[in-house]
Amino acid sequence: MPASLSLGVPTTRLAPSPTGALHLGNVRTFLITWALARRLGWRIVLRIEDLDTPRVKPQTIALTEDLLTWLGLAWEGEVVLQSRMRDAHVLAMQQLASRSCVFPSPKLRSEGLATETPQSAPNEGAHEMRFGPELRPPTRPSEFADDAPTWRFATPNETIEFTDLFAGPQRVCPASTVGDFVVWSRREGSPLGQAAYQLAVVVDDAAAGVTHVVRGNDLIDSTGRQLLLLRELGLPAPAYVHVPLVRGSDGKRLAKRHGDTRLDAYRARGVRAERVVGLMAAWCGVLPREQPQEMALAEFVERFSLATLSQEDVVYGPQDEAWLLGESQRSGGTR
């Protein structure tokens, strides 16, 4: 329980993965995070999750920071780059090894990526990827050495329960969905491994004193894995706020296939930040869904409430893009 951290300043984080620039789905989650933090007096830190991909261009990181600033978001202290947290990640692996709950293993065919990212994380249905007790070595080492293609967490067969501050009571069973998940993985073409997403996120959140995690509800399943790691590492669990995703009209999570929904593409087309915030207001229950209006960030913060945020995903439709680009205004407001 987060008793020790409750003595400190409540803290949340913005944790973009710089694999592509921010899109409208990220923007919605970040504005919700920002509004909650401003209203409830939480500190905000910015962590760039640059372990997800072998090649993160420095200009992509700079663009992410620039876009957040353009929206009006700010953060305290130095920006944390996950790739610079290696020492803390190694220490955590040593601790997990000393508790015999991790073991070295070969990489499975389907695990070509350097790390298990939230988006690529094997979940239900990925049975051929599931490592279970029958594949564990008979004895587990008590020390960590960065000399195996992957290290896995020996997932206990138990159901993890937590109460999400927005999504409500949750029950997840990592042993049956993902089994022994990867916590450390060797990078392609490198003699060294690095922390996988599940491990990096808990270590980095704890290092930054994060007490409140606000993120997309596609990560609820990952939260079960993260709570197991936190327990073994003796770290307090943060409070979780998992919010619905933005999807394309085909029902899939907003991505490249839905056209160019990157924030910098809209900015380059002359869309003002207030217009983006106004669309987010319509997507977050601040304004009626079909009636976006330009809005200053401060007003969004004042009017936002989790109580009026829908539990349903947002579907990004052509009318949203038309409004963002101001086409509805030019054509006299008809839609």
Nearest distance in Å: CB 75, ligand GLU: 14
**Minimal distance, residue 332 CB to ligand GLU, in Å:** 38
What secondary structure does DSSP assign to 77-125, as a single string? SSPEEGGG-HHHHHHHHHHHHHTT-EEEEPPPTT--SSS--TTT---TT
Q: Quick one: 269 exposed, middle or buried, by C-beta within 10 A (0-12, 13-18, 19+)?
A: exposed
- CA angle at residue 326 from 324 to 329, to 5 degrees? 135
Q: Which helix (H) or strand (E) holds 164?
A: strand 160-164
Q: Using an 8 Å Cβ cutoff, are 223 and 240 in contact?
A: yes
Nearer to ligand GLU by Cβ, of 62 and 298: the residue is 62
Q: Given the complex with ligand GLU, which of 245 and 309 has the nearer CB atom?
A: 245
If the CB atoms of residues 105 and 211 are measured against ligand GLU, the closer one turns out to be: 211
CA distances from 15 to 12, 85, 97 (A): 10, 14, 27
Which residue number places its CB atom closest to ligand GLU?
A: 215
Residues that bind ligand GLU (CB under 6 A): 15-17, 49, 118, 201, 215, 219
Identity of the residue, 94 or 117, whose beta carbon is nearer to ligand GLU in the bound complex: 117
Nearer to ligand GLU, 64 or 177 (CB): 64
- Kindly give the interhelix angle for 197-207 and 220-233, rounded to the nearest 10 degrees: 60
Nearest distance from C-beta of residue 262 to ligand GLU, angstroms: 14
* Nearer of residues 19 and 293 to ligand GLU, judged by Cβ: 19
The position carrying tokens 């949203």 is 320
Q: How far apart are CA 255 and CA 319, in angstroms?
A: 18
Q: How far is the CB of 176 from ligand GLU (least distance, A)?
A: 22
CA angle at residue 236 from 101 to 245, to 5 degrees? 90
Within 10 Å of residue 57's Cβ, how many Cβ atoms?
11
Residue 331 C-beta: closest distance to ligand GLU, Å = 35
- Least distance (Å) between residue 115 CB and ligand GLU: 11
